Each structure stands twice: as C-alpha cells, then as structure tokens.
Amino acid sequence: MARPQRFLGLISGTSADGIDAALVDFPSDEPGARPALAFARTYPWDPALRARLVALGQQDARLGLDEVGALDVAIGRAFADAALAALADSGIRPADVTAIGSHGQTLRHRPHGPTPFTLQLGCAATIAERCGITTVAGFRARDVAAGGHGAPLVPGLHAALLRDASESRAVLNLGGIANFTLLPARGAVRGFDTGPANGLMDAWCLRHRGEPFDRGGTFASAGRVDAALLARLLDEPWFALPPPKSTGRDQFHLGWVDGRLAGGEAPADVQATLLALTARTAADALRAAQPDTARVVACGGGVHNPRLMAALADALPGVVVESSAAHGLDPDAIEAMAFAWLARETLAGRPGNLPAVTGAAGPRILGAIHRA
C-alpha cells in the first residue's frame, strides 16, 4: 500500500545568504507523487561564519587541511541547527521525517579538466547525529564522476511541478548563479547555468554599501548601465560555451569584475551594469536554447528585486516573466524542496540526475546515506 512520506530539504546557495529549510510532504512513495510544501523558512548564518564562506568562494582563497575539517563540521552543525529550528517552528516531530536531504555549501566547483570535482562542505554525519534523522548528502559528486557537471540538479523537480503540455516554459532560478530548466511542450527537459545572478550584485553591494544585498534594487536604480563595461563583462568566454555548463562564485567573483573595470566607474553604475549582465546573459541563453518559450517562471532570491525582474521582461519581449508564486510555489523554497525530493529518490534507489541536463554518461543514484 502506498504511504505518505515527509522529507526535509536543506540548502545554502552560492550567495551563502542563509540556510533554506523546507519540509515536503509526498502523498505516497510512488515515483510520480506530487510534492507539497508543508513548511519553509530561511535561517541566518552566524555572521562570522558567513563572512568566511563568502571569502572562501573567491578564486584565490586557500585553506589548510585542519581548516577544511573544522569548517566541514561547523557547516554541518549550522545545517543541523537550521533543521532542528524548522522542526520546532513547524511543530513537526523528528520521528515524522523520513530523511533530510542536505546540499551543503559549495566551496569549489570544477567539473572539467583532468580531475573533475565538486566540493560541498557540511558534515552529513554531524547532521544525522544531532538531528537523529537519516541524512542524505553529497548529491553532486556522483554525477561529476559520471562525466557530468553535477548541476543543475533541480530540473527534475521543476518538471514535476511546472511542466505544461500546452506551452513551452522555462524555469529561471535566480540565486547567486542563474540557471534555466527548459520545459518544452514536447521533448526532453534540459537545463544549464547561464552565469551570475545575485552573487556579483550582492558582493558589490556589500563592498560599497555594507549591506548583504540590494534590497528592492534601489542601489542599481540609482545608477545607469555602463555600455562599455557591459561589453567587457559579456566578452567572458564562458558565456559562449554550449550546454551542458555550470559555474559558481569561484569563477564569477569580485576579482573577475575588478579586472574588467576601467577605473573611476561610479559604484551605482557598476551595480546597474551587473544587473544588466544577469538579465542579458539569461535572455541570450534562452533565445538560443528554446526560442519558442512562452513563459519564464522565476524563483530564488532574485524574484524580490523588481528592477531585475523588469530587466528580464524587457530583455524577453513577448515572453511572460513571472514569479513561481503565480503558480502557488514559494520562490524561496523550491531549491530546498528539490533536495528533499532528491533524498527521497536516493532512498528509493532511483536516479536523481537528468543526463540531458548535466551531461553525465547516464542516470545515476545520487548521494550518500547516513542512517540515523
């Protein structure tokens, strides 16, 4: 007999702006059971730990082995605290949760070259021990080992929640990095990263305003797009690569921006230009990959930036650009929901990746299981 299940998903994205927790209910253990969000909240990082994570996301950051081990446990403890807080705040008992799916915090993503790897910290054994709940983690590594990019991994959930046979859609996740899931009315689901979303804007805002993000897009609104700077940013060879493709903060960081500044640019103009970069690269990628797209459903923190959403709509004339909230889906919870969904697939012995998205040699069961 089919039975209902409940999973808890945890993720901290490229921007490291908080730990997202989502409790997700499935009406049965069948593969096609539609998930429903029971509770979601974002829990803040300890400021010192977050500052360390942001610094380590830069290309030139270095860590000793002792630091790596200690940081892995510190992140695991922070994730466990977020999970326990979500359970307390929702009134759900740990015994009623089948498993936790933890993404961890990405510090390096190198899915190419002679020794491809992806590195997420957040000790899953620590999470399982502190929460008393089976924990699944390390989802990306198996896909990379199979020749894939290990990213994006959310398209499977996007397809389950938002695919519509009457129109071609695209789901745009606006986290630290932007990525698309392409949901054609007919044909295979595809997906790929398009480049920076909030990551560069957040870092620039923190540098010049001391604020972790550009609330409401007001900083960008105070400036104008610098066409010459935008052209230099767009000249980055990565943007011309065909899918499958993925990237992260270790590639698109403030050092990358600094190397393209002419000098003397007004900070607000740079912020406006970084916003334009996000909209332009996403729109160009969508036109190239799925020109018949009728609707873009946006999720992630970027949906709260009205200036960014307006820029996307301007860059995609004739395409509906809307928040996932228009479909009853919390834009801040979808990625955490995805890792609850992926944990469920792992425990069921089902593949969690889409090879057409990641470029892996085939479907793979993702993650390692740490039993309670």
Q: Per the structure block, which two tokens stand in for 285?
A: 């990628």
**26-33 contacts at long range (C-beta below 8 A, 24 or more positions apart):** 26/344, 27/2, 28/2, 28/3, 28/4, 29/2, 29/3, 29/5, 29/348, 30/2, 31/348, 31/350, 32/160, 33/2
Tell me: do 58 and 145 sit in the same domain.
yes
Tell me: do 191 and 209 sit in the same domain.
yes
User: What range does the domain containing 101 cover?
Assistant: 5-150+332-370
> What pLDDT sits at residue 155?
95
What single-letter amino acid sits at 129?
Answer: E
Mean pLDDT for 30-35 is 86
Residue 14 has pLDDT above 70, yes or no: yes
Tell me: do 181 and 146 sit in the same domain.
no
Q: What is the pLDDT of residues 234-286, one digit of tens each?
A: 999 999 999 999 998 889 999 999 999 999 999 999 999 999 999 999 999 99
Tell me: do 286 and 343 sit in the same domain.
no
> What pLDDT sits at residue 16?
85
Tell me: do 295 and 177 sit in the same domain.
yes
Mean pLDDT for 147-156 is 95
Tell me: do 364 and 260 sit in the same domain.
no
Residue 2 has pLDDT above 70, yes or no: no
Count of domains observed in the chain: 2
> What pLDDT sits at residue 15?
77
Q: What is the pLDDT of residues 79-91, one digit of tens each?
A: 999 999 999 999 9
Tell me: do 319 and 343 sit in the same domain.
no
Q: What is the pLDDT of residues 214-238, one digit of tens each?
A: 999 999 999 999 999 999 999 999 9
Q: What is the pLDDT of residues 109-140, one digit of tens each?
A: 999 899 999 999 999 999 999 999 999 999 99
| Integer Cα distance of 192 and 356 in angstroms | 10
Tell me: do 140 and 72 sit in the same domain.
yes
Tell me: do 239 and 94 sit in the same domain.
no
> What pLDDT sits at residue 65?
93
Tell me: do 341 and 360 sit in the same domain.
yes
Residue 70 has pLDDT above 70, yes or no: yes
Supply the mean pLDDT for the chain: 95
Give the residue among 302, 292, 230 at the shortest CA–CA distance from 261. 230
> What pLDDT sits at residue 249?
84
CATH code, 356: 3.30.420.40
Give the residue among 277, 178, 198 at the shortest CA–CA distance from 15. 198
Tell me: do 188 and 96 sit in the same domain.
no
Residue 303 has pLDDT above 90, yes or no: yes
